[in-house]
Structures are given as structure tokens and as C-alpha cells.
Structure 1
Amino acid sequence: MFLREVQLWNWPSHTDTYPFNLPAFQGLSRISFRTAVTFFVGENGSGKSTLLEAIAKEAGFNPEGGNRNHIFSTADSESSLHHYIRLSWMPKVTSGFFLRAESFFNFSSYIDTLAKDDMSDNVYAAYGGKSLHQQSHGESFLSLFTHHFQGRRRALYLLDEPEAALSPARQLALLRILWDHEQAGQSQFIIATHSPILLGYPHATILSFDQAPLAPIRYEDTDHFIITKQFLTHRDRILRELFKENQD
């Protein structure tokens, strides 16, 4: 692990505003990372993507997606949380990437602009050799993971809901990519996800943002595992209950 800890400091007194009022952050002073792969899990609005964005911003990555060298902006929408955290490194790394599924279209357009200005296909080498817009959503994500995430030097990768464009089979392919990187010992991943497939990655730390404050949780205790298992095991019964007309 290169990013060892996120410290929450100089927390504002007006904790009635987002994201400082989120239960996951109450009474929390630091978040430690002890494994090469860490997952953020929780309901929508629980703060996992907001914290991931703040880490990316403080690490010097583009908050809309990309790395330190990707300079573009389509909307100034990031929260102020990055002003209230400090990153503890050992050693500090400057390489890596921040993937935001919701703004990946804008990132892809930015890469096309770079390629046009470069007047060559060299820019596309890190993305499968062609425009990300010329690939399906899932293909473009895997092209990024396969070609850009080379694992040749120490790097921090921050992924915000990467499963958004990935079929179950391609989520398994991403698990293999994570494994290959971990074996090389050059990469650290922090991933916000709703995917029970990705959460099943062996020996990863899962931090639940549904707890106050956020805390580690076992894979089998996550709602994502429990609900998915119940649905697959008792689909007919659950659907009957779900679609049952109100008897009142």
C-alpha cells in the first residue's frame, strides 16, 4: 500500500451540510488502508463516491476522471471535502488514474481532442489503439484497464462504480486484472462499487459507509451479498412479495 491513511482534519463546525453531516464520517478521524485492494460499499448518498473524489483531488488527479496530466473540466461539481482531508503516503506516488463512470463520456471526448491535436494515433495507444467512443461502453472500460493500467510503476487507481459498463463476465475479467496487478506489487486500488461480484475479490478490505462511522465489514455481511443471494435462491417468492397488490 502506498496510500496508507486518509486523515480527516479541521472538520467544520457546521456539520448540518453535505457531506459533513453524513453518518459515515461522524466521530471519524482517520481511515487506514491495509490491503492492496479496498472497496467502499454503501447505499446511494452514503458518501463513498464523494470521499473517493476527494482522495482523487487531493492526490492531484482530475476530479472528473484521469490522471495528473489530463487537464479538462466540463463542470465544477466536486464537493469541498478535499479541503478537509490529508493523505499519508509511504512512499508517495504520483502515478495512477481516477475512473468516474458518470463522466467517462467527457473523458473519452477529451482523449479524442488530444489525439486530434497530436495528429497521430499515439494518444490512443493507452486505450486499445482507437477512440474510446468507437468502442462499446464495456469495451472502452476494459481497454482502459488493460492498456492504460500497465502496472509497470507504482500507481494508485481510484475506480468509482466501474461495474456500470461491465457485464458479469467482464466484471470477472476486471477481477483478474486486479489480481495480476496485486501480484506485481506495484498497484493499489480503492474502488467504490455496488457489485457483489467485484466485492468478492479475495483478501480485500471492504469499508461500509452504511455504518456510523464507516467501518470494515465481511463480504458475507454486506447487503449486496445478502440481497443478491436471497434473490437468486428465492426469486419466485421474492417477486411474488414484491408485486403483491396492497390488501389494505
Structure 2
Amino acid sequence: MLNTQYVRSIKMIRDEIPSFKKYPFNLPSLKTLDELSFHPNVTFLVGENGMGKSTLLEAIAVALGFNPEGGSFNFNFSTYDSHSPLGDYLQVIKGIEKPRDGFFLRAESFYNVASNIEEMDQEILGRPIIDSFGGVSLHEQSHGEAFFATFLHRFGGNGIYILDEPEAALSPLRQMSMLTRIHDLINENSQFIIATHSPIIMAYPDAKIFELTEEGISESKLEETNHYRIMKQFFDDKNRMLHHLLNG
């Protein structure tokens, strides 16, 4: 397995931040953020809702030159301007090699990416962009099928891939298939940074996991993450957990 590290780490430019009392800098995970060093293959950002993992992932993507709503490096559309200013205060430390491909794939704005592809294909001559996504309109597939088709066909290796909560569009079986595809792309000289709630996805071997909590950001192992422990507790004793949930 190759160890190509396109993004080595990020540093927060703390002395330029105007205030740690305003969003997103008031989030506990960002108040204490100084530097994060990434795994050359796969790095996960995990945590409960509101801890800032998607905000941080978006800022990393923006700092790398991606469109805030997703897409490849050459996507520059905007349907809404709601991304945080965090990316302006991150310094990206890159590796020696430059990626030949890249994509920022986020579930919440994937519809907008699909619409932009159709708009661009109406304006350009030559090979349609949608051919790189499997050749079938992403709007003519289910959300999960379109999302996985992008992951399967558009990602070509030798790339940096930023994924925001991909499990939102994928069944558990598809999430397992995603692990296989991630592994194939790692062997094709790729690097992933992924924000996720899914213990299935974060089970990728030898990955680095950063957990964002009220105490800040800390490196963790799969079995130590809150997501894994809660899921394990539920399925180890489903009836007891349901009793507490439904009967107070």
C-alpha cells in the first residue's frame, strides 16, 4: 500500500482570529485547535452533532481550494453563501507530491452539485461531464445511487478526497462497499479526510480518528469513540436500551 500524503497537517492561525466568542471559533473543538496531523491514507473526524466536524471539514476543503458546496477543484458555483470563515484561518501544510485529482463530496449539498453538472453539460461542447460520473443523470437516480455512482466512477485515484457524512446517503451494505472502494483508491495513491457518524466507515484499518467533544479534539480508537460504544451497547442489549428510552 502506497503512502502518498498530499495534506500533511493543518494549523490554526490563532493570533489572527478576531474573537473566540463568536461562531465557529467558540466551538469547544476549535477553541483549543492548534494543529492536526493527518494520516497519509485515511483520517476521520467524528463527534456528536454540533461539535463542529462538518464545519472543520468544510474549512479544510475550502483552504485546499474546493468549492464550499462540493465538487472538484474546477467547480465554482454557489447556490447559497453559508460557509463559515474558518477556512481563512487555516494553514494547510502539504506534502511533496501534488494530487492529480480531487473532490469534495458532501451529502447535504450533493443535489446542487448534480444540478451544476447538468448546467455545465448544456453549455460545453465535447465529452459531457456526466460521463465521468457513470453517464446517467444524477437527478435520475436515487440520492444514494447517485452519491455512490460519483464515488465509484468520478474518483479516479492519485487524488485528495474530502467526504462529509457519506453515510447519510448510503445503506449499511453500501457503506461496506464504500470501504472496498476507499481501499482500492488508497492503493491508487489517494488520501481521504472524512467526517462521519458511521462506525462501519470509520472501521477502515489503520486510519487516524479525531473525536470532537466538549473537551476539544483528541485522537481516538474506533472502539473508544462514542458512536461505536453507543451502537455496541444498543445491539448487545437492545431490549434493555429500548426499555430505558421508551419508559424513562
TM (norm. structure 1) is 0.93
Consecutive unaligned residues of structure 2, counting only runs of 5 or more, are: none
Match of 2:95? Answer: 90
Q: Distance in 1 between matches of 2:76 and 2:140?
A: 22
1:183 counterpart = 2:187: yes
Partner of 1:46: 51
Q: For 1:106 and 1:13, locate their aligned partners in 2 and report how far apart those are by CA, in whole Å.
A: 32
Who is 1:239 aligned against? Answer: 242
Report the CA distance between 1:27 and its aligned residue. 3.1
Which deviations, in whole Å up to 9, do the C-alpha atoms of 1:113-132 show, x marking residues without a partner? 11222367622111111110
1:34 positional shift? 2.6
State the Cα distance separating 1:173 from its structure 2 match: 0.6
Shift of 1:93: 3.5
Task: Give the match for residue 226 of structure 2.
Answer: 223
What secondary structure is seen at the aligned counterpart in 1 of 2:51?
coil
RMSD over equivalenced CA pairs, Å:
1.5
* Equivalent residue in structure 2 for 1:131, among 129, 132, 137: 137
Contact map agreement 2:20 2:31 (CA 8 A) in 1: no
Matched positions, count: 242
Aligned twin of 2:42: 37
Matched residue SS, 1:51: helix
SS of corresponding position for 1:108: helix
- Contact kept in structure 2, 1:26 and 1:212, CA below 8 Å: no
Which piece of structure 1 moves more, 136-145 or 12-21?
12-21
1:63-101 C-alpha deviation (Å, 9 max, x unpaired): 111122112100010101011111011124363011111
> Equivalents in 1 of 2:176, 2:168: separation in Å?
14
Cross-structure match for 2:198: 195
**Is the Cα–Cα contact under 8 Å of residues 101 and 156 in structure 2 kept in the other structure?**
no
Post-superposition CA distance 1:223-247 (Å, at most 9, x none) = 11111111111111111111115xx
Residue of structure 2 in register with 1:148 after alignment: 154
Contact 1:35-1:205 within 8 A present in 2 as well = no
Q: Kindly indicate whether the alpha-carbon contact (under 8 Å) linking 2:61 and 2:162 is maintained by their aligned counterparts in 1.
A: yes
